[in-house]
Amino acid sequence: MAIIGGGPAGMLLSEILHRAGIESVVLEQRSRAYVLSRIRAGVLEPGTVEVLRQNGLGERMDREGHAHDGMRIVWAGRASFFIDVKKHVGKRFMAYGQTNIQEDLFAAADRRKAVVLDEAEDVRPVDVASDKPHVTFRHRGASMRLDCDFIAGCDGFHGVSRRAIPPAVLREYEKVYPFGWLGILSETPPLPEIVYANHPRGFALASMRSPTLSRYYIQVPLEDNTGNWPDERFWTELKARYPRELADAIVTGPSIEKSIAPLRSYVAEPMRHGRLFLAGDAAHIVPPTGAKGLNLAVSDVFYLSRALEAFYGRGSSALLDGYSDMALRRVWNSVRISWWLTNLLHRFPGMSEFDQRAQEFELQYVSSSHHAEAALAEQYAGMPFEEAA
């Protein structure tokens, strides 16, 4: 297997395949230090936690991660409400940073002496629709060619793999939102729960990485930049979006990371072309509101590795042939709930009084209906993986 991209999708695929006796080479364009410096996801669905545990990656997560029963939503001037995932789904999810998962994956790869070529340049999947695909690239100044049975495109939204699917075959579905999230990481104790806020000043989110590391986000205009947001201004704005008792409980301190991410929904179909299989952000992007991106990368990799194991173990291509459809069913569930939560919780520029009122009453409904809460809890926890059948 050639795996393009050494983010969580590519490294996890390589790990699971190795455990099944299938060898791979990972080609990553950045340095390891750069990959580890990206601060991203923090919330793991129960299914993701299970996949990591089953593949020998659960030890540190279970020690350092923080299990949660649900998440809280607050909105201007009203009482907050708790979406109880544990009660409705019987499972807990986990706050554990993507950076930690990436470290755990590199450590596991080092232990098995995996071939992970970083700073690989000009990586190109070639002849993906033939029986003899290969990948060309440059590494430490040398031109290289990697012949393989299959190519996994795990190179994120800006990667090259998706572009190897001919335009006549590729269908793209996209929605760009008119705002971004400004996120900060700070060495301060977090609030005990993950709390999403809808406020006239805009959306806010309180999350965590560890008992001493907090992650907060606020909605900002797309054209904004971090230079406009010295720490003091960030904390004042964040607190203004939470009710008094929560604002008072937020512990402030210097930020150790600050960045703005645009929000987008995007799906590429199909996720397979010939011997090329896409997984993770290479095939789809969701706005972070549902905390789904990394979890989808893990479910894609779960389906793809299972299909490859069936191919090499039993000579059956049925799961490889069904990979795109099966992965996309789960992808669209997460795309839909992320879009819905984004609409529910943000203030959109140009929102009419009607839109505003409809949003308020939708929040009212979710907070007062057992059925609405159960539906949100089920989707926040993530739909179960499909059987191989």
Q: For residue 62, what are the CA distances in angstroms to 58, 96, 100, 183, 387?
A: 6, 9, 12, 25, 26
C-alpha to C-alpha distance for 366 and 155, rounded to whole angstroms: 37
Chosen from ligand RFL, ligand PHB, none, partner binding at 74 (C-beta under 5 to 8 Å by type)? none
Chosen from ligand RFL, ligand PHB, none, partner binding at 250 (C-beta under 5 to 8 Å by type)? none
At its nearest, how many Å lie between ligand RFL and the CB of residue 50? Answer: 15
Query: Which run of H or E residues covers position 257?
Result: strand 255-269
C-alpha to C-alpha distance for 280 and 339, rounded to whole angstroms: 17
Q: DSSP for 183-207, please give it.
A: EEEESSPPPSS-EEEE-TT--EEEE
Binding site for ligand PHB (CB under 6 A): 41-43, 194, 205, 207, 215, 288-289, 291
> Residues with catalytic annotation?
68, 196, 288, 292, 380
- Residue 243 φ/ψ, nearest 5 degrees: -60, 155
At its nearest, how many Å lie between ligand PHB and the CB of residue 191? Answer: 12
Q: Does 4 bind ligand RFL (CB under 6 A)?
A: yes
At its nearest, how many Å lie between ligand RFL and the CB of residue 97? Answer: 9
Q: Which of residues 86-115 bind ligand RFL (CB under 6 A)?
A: 98
Chosen from ligand RFL, ligand PHB, none, partner binding at 128 (C-beta under 5 to 8 Å by type)? none
Q: Does 51 bind ligand RFL (CB under 6 A)?
A: no
Nearer to ligand RFL, 5 or 47 (CB): 5
Pairing of β 134-139 and β 121-126: antiparallel
Q: Does 65 bind ligand RFL (CB under 6 A)?
A: no
At its nearest, how many Å lie between ligand PHB and the CB of residue 207? Answer: 3
Q: For residue 137, what are the CA distances in angstroms to 10, 23, 131, 154?
A: 17, 19, 20, 16
Amino acid code (one letter) for 311: F
The mark string for 151-180 relative to ligand RFL (x by CB under 6 A, - otherwise) is ---xxx-xxx--------------------
Q: Does 241 bind ligand RFL (CB under 6 A)?
A: no
The mark string for 270-309 relative to ligand RFL (x by CB under 6 A, - otherwise) is ----------xx------x--xxxxx-x------------
Q: Assess whether the previous peptide bond of 349 is cis (omega < 30° from 0).
A: no
**Count helices and strands in the chain by DSSP H and E runs:** 12, 20
C-alpha to C-alpha distance for 221 and 22, rounded to whole angstroms: 46
- Give the residue from 61, 244, 272, 283 showing the smallest Cα distance to 154: 283
Chosen from ligand RFL, ligand PHB, none, partner binding at 30 (C-beta under 5 to 8 Å by type)? ligand RFL
CB–CB of 250/121 below 8 Å? no
Nearer to ligand PHB, 197 or 282 (CB): 197
Task: Tell me how far the alpha carbon of residue 275 is from its chain's centroid.
Answer: 25
Chosen from ligand PHB, ligand RFL, none, partner binding at 289 (C-beta under 5 to 8 Å by type)? ligand PHB
**Interface contacts to ligand RFL, rule CB under 6 A:** 4-10, 27-30, 35, 40-43, 98, 120, 123, 154-156, 158-160, 181, 183, 261, 280-281, 288, 291-295, 297
